[in-house]
């Protein structure tokens, strides 16, 4: 698991092993946009303030993935212990 810190809502949540960031946010009552939940539509695109995402979507280009500036929270995880997201 890892932690996600949300800069707008001021929450910090633990994402358990095997759970998605999206599931964790929805479970905590955070209002997020999503649609496919499979990494193909791009609706859940979120700005990454710090941390290193583990990209598993099919939307972002390799260059975007390497930039560590945006991620799809429905399917991607984290390579770092903490991710700070603009949410």
Residues that bind ligand FES (CB under 6 A): 34-37, 39-44, 57, 59, 72, 74
How many C-beta neighbours within 10 Å does residue 12 have?
A: 11
Based on CB atoms, which residue is closest to ligand FES, 2 or 55? 55
At 66 the three-state DSSP class reads: helix
Residue 5 buriedness (CB in 10 A; 0-12 / 13-18 / 19+):
middle
Least distance to ligand FES from the beta carbon of 43, Å?
A: 5
Least distance to ligand FES from the beta carbon of 70, Å?
A: 11
Least distance to ligand FES from the beta carbon of 74, Å?
A: 3
Closest C-alpha among 27, 22, 48 to residue 37: 22
Based on CB atoms, which residue is closest to ligand FES, 9 or 43? 43
At 20 the three-state DSSP class reads: coil
Based on CB atoms, which residue is closest to ligand FES, 10 or 41? 41
């Amino acid at each position: 698991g890892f932690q996600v810190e949300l800069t707008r809502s001021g929450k910090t949540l633990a994402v358990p092993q095997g759970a998605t960031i999206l599931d964790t946010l929805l479970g905590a009552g955070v209002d997020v946009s999503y649609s496919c939940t499979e990494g193909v539509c791009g609706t859940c695109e979120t700005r990454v303030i710090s941390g290193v995402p583990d990209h598993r979507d099919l939307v972002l280009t390799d260059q975007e993935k390497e930039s560590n500036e945006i991620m799809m929270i429905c399917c991607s995880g984290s390579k770092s212990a903490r991710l700070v997201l603009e949410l």
